[in-house]
Structure 1
Amino acid sequence: MMLLAATNWGNAGLMALVSILLVFVVLILLIFILKLFGVIFAEKKKPATASVGASSDEITDEEVAAIAMAVNLFFNRHDEESDVLTFRQNHDVSAWQVRNIHKQL
């Protein structure tokens, strides 16, 4: 109790105020730095080009699916799981005994 009475609260309040202001100044500075990085590293928008059809370099979704199916059938590797789920229960131990709440120190 004497420690509270002996504390110089003027200095403590000043330190708290300075630390809070420092945190907010650093956060605002961080926001400006991140916005500056966004401006510097932003991609320049390219003008839209009129395309008549799909490019020959692009692969359609159907082609990707066909390739994936062909590779799957070629290697014939897939997970085989049984449809049976087994839950083993131990009737000797209750949930309350597992938690060790009855253990005395």
Structure 2
Amino acid sequence: MDTSLTKSFKIPPASLPIIPVAFLLIVVPVYDQIFISFTRKITGIRTGITHLQRVGVGLVLSSLSMATAAIMEVKRKVVARDHNMLDAIPILQPLPISVFWLSIQFFIFGLQTCLRT
């Protein structure tokens, strides 16, 4: 996939795991200050929702993340087929699709990680 941010700057592929961390830095304060406060008023539970409910929501988000990854893989393969790049070497010839398409599943993964904390 194309890791170009600008014409002169490319994101190193090894740095891509920073995307879920960045989302986590945004989601955790929102979760803690807004979601927990709101659900605490409704349920009367100090943590907002029970641990079993957290596990259930985490499992649903995990499934949603994997489904999003599958959809993205189908999109990636369609782009590769349309550009005759099914057998191309990814390092030498990246696909003409932005790596930021992966940020959707990374966002869902960040939400799931937020519930584990």
TM-score (norm 1): 0.32
- Please say which structure displays the higher CA radius of gyration: 1
Greater fraction of residues in helix: 2
TM-score (norm 2): 0.29
Higher relative contact order (CA 8 A, sep 6+): 2
